[in-house]
Amino acid sequence: MANSAASDVFYKSISELSDLYKRKQTTPSEVTELFLQRIFEYDDQYLSYATVLHDDAVQRAELLTEELNKGKVRGPLHGIPIGIKDLCDMSGVKTMGGTAVLEDNVAQVDSTVVEKLQESGAVILGKLNLTEGAMGGYNPRRSVPKNPWDVNKWSGSSSSGSGVATSAGLCTGSLGSDTGGSIRFPSAACGLVGLKPTYGRVSRFGVLNLAETLDHVGPMTRNVSDAMAIFQCIAGHDPKDLTTRIESVPSFDFEISRDLSGFVLGYCEDYCENDVNPEIVASVRRAKSVLTDMGVHFLEVKLPDIDRYLCAWKTICSAEAANSHRANYPDRYDEYGLWFRGWLEYGYGVSVNDYIDASRIRYQCNGLFRDKFKNIDGFLCPTTINLPHIVDDSISYGPMDSLRGTSFQRFTVPFDFNGFPTVTLPSGFSEDGMPMSMQIVGNFLDEEKICKVALEYEHHSGFPEIRPPNL
């Protein structure tokens, strides 16, 4: 590959890389070697990878190159370098889940998402760092990924490594998971697209649990098309996960038209703007105006105080997390970090009545949104209430705090409660150069509609062309 092309390969889209392969301008082997070298050069600064699968990735890329030379294409991800959150099992590789207690946990079989990525031809570069157990804080034995837009700012939780690696061009795209916002928060903080599918669209077999009734797995990418491509490869019914849906996966067979006539999106001014950073509000308003010009009709949806429902998430998530970690906690108490230890302690204190009451509140919230979504194709809102905050080790490795929970999850938790699909994408940049983000929420199983809107908006905005400084 020519030097000029090589220097830009890290920010090529999936379709662009595939086209380069098709035209024999480069090969999966060449691209994989370039990405591995970039990880070697840059990840000491960004700390996104928990495990780099150098030899495995090289061998895999060589095989995929040979297949291309023979005219064989496995699927839409053939030769595409992907990173996976270190919750996803890959046979023969450690799955640590951001913990110390699982640092010797070597997977015996592939998770379904890894199996599907490989069937589609992906090259898995490695496992990506995350918060301990996929919650708010980090274990002292694990690294804290650094935001490429500002290494002193929050990179999101818990799929922080996925957000950082994708944003820094250390993989073409990645897998994250979302229980209370963990695909969407790092996507927002790192200027990415994050697709949280409908609950049950993507198998969680072989993916470490945080809270089984809330966990989602989905792609994190630099553009909407890449998110759709990865989603199509990993979605679908899986008999090994009884929560997976039997409905067919959408084809996303549409072209850019810049015309969204006929789409109706909901918007609630109180919900979307009260106590939300003014710069974020302004960016979402601008996006709303652009979408209106593209033909979207906005319907004012009146929502009550959603924050009053959010307390139920802490009860449900912590109790289910305590159940997930019962093999190691409290027996190995001292090996857990301060944040997650506090979370598990809280979960162990949840009574049966507490859990039932919280579940009732969850169902009330679900019913509310289900009713409000009857006459709309989707709903527009911010992704976060604040811009990424300053972080240091006292926050990252410290005890539970108020920065990552409750009202901060206003725009995420309701759609983990009800499993509605969401797509998060950049809405602009703050005065200090940090990404801002908006979210389009769809009805159950309606990924196709929200991705259509997101794709049209993205094409207008040009945000995928903007990279973090110095990268």
Asked if the model's pLDDT at residue 468 lies above 90, the reply is: yes
Residue 4's pLDDT band (cuts 50, 70, 90): very low
Interval 28-41: pLDDT, tens: 999 999 999 999 99
Interval 136-178: pLDDT, tens: 999 999 999 999 999 999 999 999 999 999 999 999 999 999 9
More confident residue, 367 or 8: 367
Q: Are 143 and 12 in contact (CB under 8 A)?
A: no
**CB neighbours of 439 closer than 8 A, spacing ≥ 6?**
184, 380, 381, 382, 383, 411, 422, 423, 424
Asked if the model's pLDDT at residue 272 lies above 60, the reply is: yes
Side by side, which strands form the sheet with 264-267?
A: 49-52, 123-128, 81-85, 173-178, 216-221, 193-196, 422-429, 435-442, 378-382, 264-267, 297-300
Nearest to 227 by CA among 244, 202, 246, 207: 202
Q: What is the DSSP pairing of strand 264-267 with strand 81-85?
A: unpaired
pTM confidence score: 0.97
State the burial class of residue 206 (Cβ atoms within 10 Å of its Cβ: 0-12, 13-18, 19+).
buried
Identify the sign of the CA torsion 102, 216, 167, 27: positive
Q: Are 450 and 421 in contact (CB under 8 A)?
A: yes
User: How far is Cα 383 from Cα 376, in angstroms, rounded to an integer?
Assistant: 19
User: How far is Cα 280 from Cα 268, in angstroms, rounded to an integer?
Assistant: 15
Cis upstream peptide for 158 (omega within 30°): yes
User: How far is Cα 292 from Cα 282, in angstroms, rounded to an integer?
Assistant: 15
Mean pLDDT calculated for residue range 23-29: 97
% of residues, the chain, pLDDT over 70:
97
Name the CATH superfamily for 3-465: Amidase signature (AS) domain (3.90.1300.10)
- Distance of alpha carbon 435 from its chain centroid, rounded? 16
% of residues, the chain, pLDDT over 90:
93
Hey, which residues are catalytic here? Answer: 85, 158, 182
Interval 185-242: pLDDT, tens: 999 999 999 999 999 999 999 999 999 999 999 999 999 999 999 999 999 999 999 9
Mean pLDDT calculated for residue range 444-464: 95
Mean pLDDT calculated for residue range 6-27: 93
Domain boundaries, the chain: 3-465
More confident residue, 2 or 173: 173
**CB neighbours of 462 closer than 8 A, spacing ≥ 6?**
none
What Rg value do the Cα atoms of the chain yield, rounded?
21
Residue 403's pLDDT band (cuts 50, 70, 90): low
Interval 85-138: pLDDT, tens: 999 999 999 999 999 999 999 999 999 999 999 999 999 999 999 999 999 999
